[in-house]
Amino acid sequence: MKTWLKSKLPLPAKLALKRLLKPFRREATLPTWVFETPKLSSDGCVDFDEVEHFLNSTVPPTRSSTGIKTSIVIPVYNKAEFTFQCLRSLIAEIDFNETEVIVVNNASTDETAALLSHFANWVEVLDNPDNRGFGDASNQGAAWAHGQFLVFLNNDTIVLPGWLDTLVETVGRDEKIGVVGSLLLYPDGKVQEAGSIVWNTGEAFHYGWGGSLEDHRFTFARDVDYCSGASLLIRKALFDQLGGFDRRYAPAYYEDVDLCFSARAAGYRVVFQPASKIIHYEGVTAGRYVNSGVKQFQVINRQKFYDKWQDVLKLKHFQNEKRNIPKAAHRIPEEAVIVFDDRIPTPDLDAGSARMLLILKLLARHYRTVFVYQTKSPELRYEQALLNEGIETIDLIYYSRLLKSQSFHTAIVSRPEIAQSVFSSLRRLAPKMKIIFDTVDAHYRRLELEYQVTGDPAALRSAKHYRKIENKLVRESDLLWCTSPADEQSMIADVPGKPVAIVPTIHPLHERGAPFAQRNNLLFIGNFHHSPNRDAVEFFVEEILPRLRQSLPDFKLDVVGSNAPSEFQRFASSDIRIHGYVEDISALLNSSRVFVAPLRFGAGVKGKIGDALSYGLPVVTTDVGAEGMGFENGNQIMIANSPGEFAAAVVSVYKDEKLWQRLSDAGYAHIEKYFSPKAVEKTIINSIASIPS
């Protein structure tokens, strides 16, 4: 069978089969941190020699209540060996300059008090004469806390790298996010809880239980019914407003569920953030049996919870049925969009990816958003960035299965190759779904312009090829997205009357960097996989740079971008620096004096222009570079086309501080008004809403 597969199937089919079989293989290799977690002593006792060794190798922090941003509250009752593991992981993870740790000792009878005395330089300990339970102890710790955010953490946990930072980053994204919870894992790396569902009976269901970290149903951020109090962040002001954990649930169980419901009733979102991970030794403190001990309150308090929230449960929650799990796992929003592109966005590598990432983030604020990709970078950070933002990802080969099981309001299909491959199946699988064709740029127009400049017959052949494809896609779509008015005119020339929305590149504003007098040098940035960028550098170095030398003898040109061709090395010198890919370009944008973009052909809005202006860096470009952005020459930017005019414009901006400052201010304001996320978000959402049902 294997021999037949190898000999008979074409490569694309082999790759597809390989992907399809992947879910049925043995569990994939787990991350190394799963195997590096500390092991517990066999007798359940704390090895104080080990405690001393750990503390002696760790520099104690300077504790202060000022400047504290986050307060971690850990209620404990016995199980000192677990508390040690928890504190050890915390010390390795948090910054004590802005985070405090408060341990509330509920009259433990084991070695807990002795253990905590060893950690006196790291944590604040509140001792109780009796066991006050989880809720009261947590309220007690919260009352002492100084932070803007409270994080409740069980002592039978080990926090993993990035645990706290991602909780805080998530709550900071939206003032309406009030509560954020972590992904809970078993010690073997399996999923314990990926956000939780509450059925209309009040019964809680741990979504993802026993699942794999490779299953992306469980590893993207989303609004949920509740997150476990084993690792839960809440704004302190909101916690105080709600009166803390409700005492009706003492000594334990359902306090966290109730808190999340109360936060939502107050107008706040409850978000599950899988990038924040902990290992949780479930049942260590309370046990596992609901007919005795503290665990029996799980059943008792479920009824109390139902009595309090029954109106909400009946109106807004699903019945406990397996078919309802996918819907119940995504609390809001109810409407969903599915977005197709050729690859996972790599925003630090190309402008098209930066635009797509920001579009996805804006969509996720209003819709449940699923992103379908054909390829992805081997660097997992790019896909993780989407998951952290609440964007579910799926390989292109699985999209038909997804459309059969779930309903989507709109499909946004980016780039002609992908659109051509999926349009017909989208119409067949989801006939009521609206389809937007996102051109990114008018491919055939860009190639026609390239032919006019270079005379390359291959460009002309490609232009004719894309014109046929793009015209067909425009006809078959319900709405067209273009990045510029010029692209719009080209795309609808053969299909008049097609609804169009202009969705340009999107540019968040940045700090504006050094003043004029402290800046030097010229800067060009571009992905050199894109032929207009290669041509621009060659044109600048060969035609413009010699003219600049006459008036600007002392400057350097920095050329930044991935996929730089090897022939660029002939330009490299003490005055021309070929950097290649630079992970963080903000330093160059904040220190260069002029951004140059001598583009001679291209289509759509040029992301590099918007990026430079979003840092307050003045730009000199051509008519092609300025296209579609509404600039006036000499106002927001300088526009010149011939080598002599371009050189003269660069010299004037480089030397004239008043002109430089005027361009910097006007360009920055122009980006804020027309190309900021806030400005483009309205266009995106309104365009989707405008599609007739």
Q: Is residue 680 part of a domain?
A: no
Among candidate residues 268, 238, 270, the one with its CA nearest the CA of residue 176? 268
Q: Is residue 21 part of a domain?
A: no
| Band of residue 49 on the pLDDT scale cut at 50, 70, 90 | confident
Is residue 273 located within the same domain as residue 373?
no
Cβ atoms of 182 and 167 closer than 8 Å: yes
Q: How far apart are CA 104 and CA 75, in angstroms?
A: 5
Q: Is residue 654 part of a domain?
A: yes
Is residue 498 located within the same domain as residue 523?
no
Cβ atoms of 459 and 445 closer than 8 Å: no
Say if residue 41's pLDDT is above 70. no
Taking phi over 0 as left and psi of -120 to 50 as alpha, with beta for the rest, 363 belongs to: alpha
Q: How far apart are CA 54 and CA 651, in angstroms?
A: 61
**pLDDT (0 to 100) of residue 43:** 59
Q: How far apart are CA 40 and CA 187, in angstroms?
A: 11
Tens digit of each residue's pLDDT (9 = 90 or more) over 70-98: 999 999 999 999 999 999 999 989 999 99
Tens digit of each residue's pLDDT (9 = 90 or more) over 382-409: 998 999 888 999 999 989 988 988 889 9
Mean pLDDT score of the chain: 87
Q: How many domains does the chain have?
A: 3
Q: Is residue 204 part of a domain?
A: yes
89 φ, ψ to 5°?
Answer: -70, -35
Strands lying side by side in the sheet with 368-375: 391-395, 368-375, 336-343, 410-414, 434-438, 479-482, 500-502
Distances (CA, A) of 106 to 145, 280, 507: 17, 20, 51
Cβ atoms of 439 and 470 closer than 8 Å: yes
Stronger pLDDT, 591 or 65, i.e. the higher one: 591
Tens digit of each residue's pLDDT (9 = 90 or more) over 323-335: 888 888 887 767 8
Tens digit of each residue's pLDDT (9 = 90 or more) over 586-640: 999 999 999 999 999 888 789 999 999 999 999 999 999 999 899 999 999 999 9
**pLDDT (0 to 100) of residue 491:** 84
Is residue 466 located within the same domain as residue 588?
no
> What b/e string do you get for 42-56 counting C-beta neighbours within 10 Å, with b at 16 or more?
eeeebeeeebeebbe
Is residue 88 located within the same domain as residue 233?
yes
Share of the chain above pLDDT 90, in %: 61
Tens digit of each residue's pLDDT (9 = 90 or more) over 631-688: 999 999 999 999 999 999 999 999 999 999 999 999 999 999 999 999 999 999 999 9
Name the least confident of 374-378, 413-417, 535-539: 374-378
Say if residue 34's pLDDT is above 50. no
Share of the chain above pLDDT 70, in %: 91
Q: Is residue 508 part of a domain?
A: no
Tens digit of each residue's pLDDT (9 = 90 or more) over 479-534: 999 988 888 888 888 788 889 999 999 999 999 999 999 999 999 999 888 889 99
Tens digit of each residue's pLDDT (9 = 90 or more) over 542-575: 999 999 988 887 889 999 988 888 888 888 887 8
Is residue 448 located within the same domain as residue 349?
yes
* Tokens 């021309």 belong to residue: 576
> Following DSSP, what letter does each residue of 545-611 receive, concatenated?
HHHHHTT--S--EEEE-TT--GGGGGT-SSSEEEEE--S--HHHHHH-SEEEE---S--S--HHHHH
Cβ atoms of 388 and 166 closer than 8 Å: yes
Is residue 404 located within the same domain as residue 274?
no
Distances (CA, A) of 415 to 193, 327, 420, 547: 37, 30, 9, 39
Q: Which residues pair with 204 in a beta bridge?
A: 198
Q: How far apart are CA 488 and CA 482, in angstroms?
A: 6
Domain termination site, one of 502, 534, 566: 502
CATH number at residue 664: 3.40.50.2000
CATH number at residue 161: 3.90.550.10
Q: Is residue 26 part of a domain?
A: no
Q: pTM of the full predicted structure?
A: 0.74
Is residue 564 located within the same domain as residue 454?
no
Tens digit of each residue's pLDDT (9 = 90 or more) over 441-487: 888 888 888 888 888 899 889 889 888 988 899 999 999 999 888 88
* Tokens 């404990």 belong to residue: 76
Tens digit of each residue's pLDDT (9 = 90 or more) over 355-367: 999 999 999 988 9
**pLDDT (0 to 100) of residue 237:** 97
Is residue 357 located within the same domain as residue 301?
no
**pLDDT (0 to 100) of residue 285:** 53
Inter-axis angle of helices 657-674 and 643-655, to 10 degrees? 100
Q: Is residue 617 part of a domain?
A: yes
Is residue 268 located within the same domain as residue 381?
no
Is residue 94 located within the same domain as residue 240?
yes
Domain termination site, one of 502, 531, 561: 502
Domain of 443, in residue numbers: 336-502
Domain termination site, one of 502, 534, 561: 502
**pLDDT (0 to 100) of residue 284:** 56
Q: Which residues pair with 181 in a beta bridge?
A: 232, 272
Tens digit of each residue's pLDDT (9 = 90 or more) over 279-312: 998 765 544 544 545 567 788 889 999 999 999 9
Q: How far apart are CA 231 and CA 225, in angstroms?
A: 15
Is residue 456 located within the same domain as residue 527?
no
Cβ atoms of 83 and 105 closer than 8 Å: no
Stronger pLDDT, 199 or 11, i.e. the higher one: 199
**pLDDT (0 to 100) of residue 21:** 38
Is residue 132 located within the same domain as residue 167?
yes
**pLDDT (0 to 100) of residue 445:** 84
Q: Is residue 689 part of a domain?
A: no
